[in-house]
Structure 1
Amino acid sequence: MSTEVRQQAANALLTAYQGWSIEPLSEQIPDLDLTDAYAIQLAQVKYWTERGATVKGHKVGLTAAAIQRQLGVDQPDYGHLLDTMFHLEDQPIDLARFQQPRIEPEIAFVLGAPLRGPGVTAAEAAAAVQYIVPALEIIDSRIQDWKITLIDTVADNASSGGVVLGSTYGEPFATDLRLTGCVLRHNGKIIDTGAGAAVSGSPLNSLVWLANTVGPLGVTLEAGHVVLAGSLTAAYPIADGDTFSAEFGGIGTVTATFGKDLS
């Protein structure tokens, strides 16, 4: 696919951030492939960083079977986390920033050393982690009605929207992350539960996959970067006034509130 067509697709997605969604790119451009989709994603990242944004990490998406069934895809993807996407815990988040937001509970890795593939092992990935932190990811889509294929979500920066990190920082592997349980609450009521094994067998596997996937593209996961490993449950829609909290066994709790700050 030509660079011009890729840039046109990136421009369409960038324009959609102004408040309206677009038809799936996979329908508009039938021969779009995964390589094109990541190039479209990178074109947007280039646009944002040239205007002052900073890459603060990556997210791995579509790792849980529940999410893959929900969105009709069959493999993980990754997107970029920018400084503009991070929100403070318990501080109201204005939903006007988003179009079709949904929330997911995730375990976040914060790196203490750089990590670059190919060939990264689980042991090397574990050694690069400084600490883990509970997180809530706000996913969003610039594609109408979430009618996405893998190609669409990759091009749309893996449906990234926002991130809320918790205030507790855990030792990376003091517990078996495969067995780490999660309870997701909406306005105080339990709506879902999950375990770390839902994330590619273990959240650590997501970190390994990411390092080995982006490494051949010349990308290093830098010290201090945040990596969201993937959701432990299905994603749930967010409405104005909602409060969501996720409690992770042995790690801690993170809370996100939605609504305009009236203070």
Structure 2
Amino acid sequence: MTAPHVLKAADTLAEAARTGTACPPVRALLPEGDITAAYAVQRLNVERGTAGGRRIAGRKIGLTSPAVQPQLGVEQPDFGTLFADMAVPEGGVVAVGRLIRPKVEAEVALVLGADLPHRDCTVADVIRATEFALPALEIVDSRNADWDITIVDTVADNASSGLFVLGGTPVPLTGLDLRASG
């Protein structure tokens, strides 16, 4: 049974995504600071997406930059799901109005060749499972009005996922210094 506050927040975000009209921050619908409830909201909308035929294409980690975190009032990274219908082809065009308040971020995408071995992976586990890296653009968006977000808002909103673009030139991790790829 889904808690009523989780259901209400999930419905609110789904409606904002469907209509292209931002909603008030969903943190007002959830217990204060409850990241667990926010991930429950995210999980419910991901389950709705897959039940509706959307295919999961990957995962994302957001808010990893210590410089960006204070700008958005957050203190930790968040995690979300990428669906195949969020992919924009390299050189593709995104129609005006497809997203509410998009922002673009340069990223490095790791394409896995094997599943990660367990829930609490080490860096070595991730490197071992990674087949190659790709240059990427993440087009983040927020269904919460005016990007007025806390960690609870962005987590509930699927880590502020919008769209993504993957470059077409795979780069093996051998010899690639990800720490210097800023």
Superposition TM-score, scaled by structure 1 size = 0.66
**Deviation (angstroms), 1:117:** 2.8
Bigger Cα Rg: 1
Q: Which amino acid aligns with 1:31?
A: E
Instruction: Say if 1:7 and 1:27 are closer, same or farther in 2 by CA, change over 3 A.
Output: closer
Match of 1:150 in 2: 151
Q: Between Structure 1 and Structure 2, which shows a larger proportion of strand residues?
A: 1
Match of 1:7 in 2: 7
Is 1:107 paired with 2:108?
yes
Superposition TM-score, scaled by structure 2 size = 0.94
Match of 1:49 in 2: 50
Take 1:151 and 1:34, find their aligned partners in 2: how far apart are those partners? 5
Does the Cα contact within 8 Å between 2:78 and 2:159 map onto a contact in 1?
yes
Cα deviations by residue, 1:56-92 (Å, 9 ceiling, x for unpaired):
1100001011221221111011000001100101121
Match of 1:183 in 2: none
Alignment gaps of 5+ in structure 1: 181-194, 196-263
Take 1:31 and 1:148, find their aligned partners in 2: how far apart are those partners? 13
Is 1:64 paired with 2:65?
yes
Take 1:124 and 1:28, find their aligned partners in 2: how far apart are those partners? 38
Match of 1:172 in 2: 173
Cα deviations by residue, 1:31-55 (Å, 9 ceiling, x for unpaired):
3501100000011011111111011
**Residues 242-261 of structure 1 correspond to what in structure 2 (within 5 A)?**
none
- How many residues align structurally? 181
Is 1:125 paired with 2:126?
yes
Instruction: Say if 1:50 and 1:101 are closer, same or farther in 2 by CA, change over 3 A.
Output: same
Match of 1:39 in 2: 40
**Deviation (angstroms), 1:129:** 0.2
Is 1:19 paired with 2:33?
no
Sequence identity of aligned pairs in percent?
Answer: 42
Instruction: Say if 1:158 and 1:119 are closer, same or farther in 2 by CA, change over 3 A.
Output: closer
Alignment gaps of 5+ in structure 2: none
Q: Which runs of 4+ in 1 moved over 6 A?
A: none
Cα deviations by residue, 1:76-113 (Å, 9 ceiling, x for unpaired):
11000001100101121113210000000000000000
The CA RMSD over aligned residues, in Å, is 1.5
Secondary structure at the aligned position of 2:60 is classed as: strand
Instruction: Say if 1:30 and 1:123 are closer, same or farther in 2 by CA, change over 3 A.
Output: closer
**Deviation (angstroms), 1:120:** 1.8
Secondary structure at the aligned position of 2:67 is classed as: helix
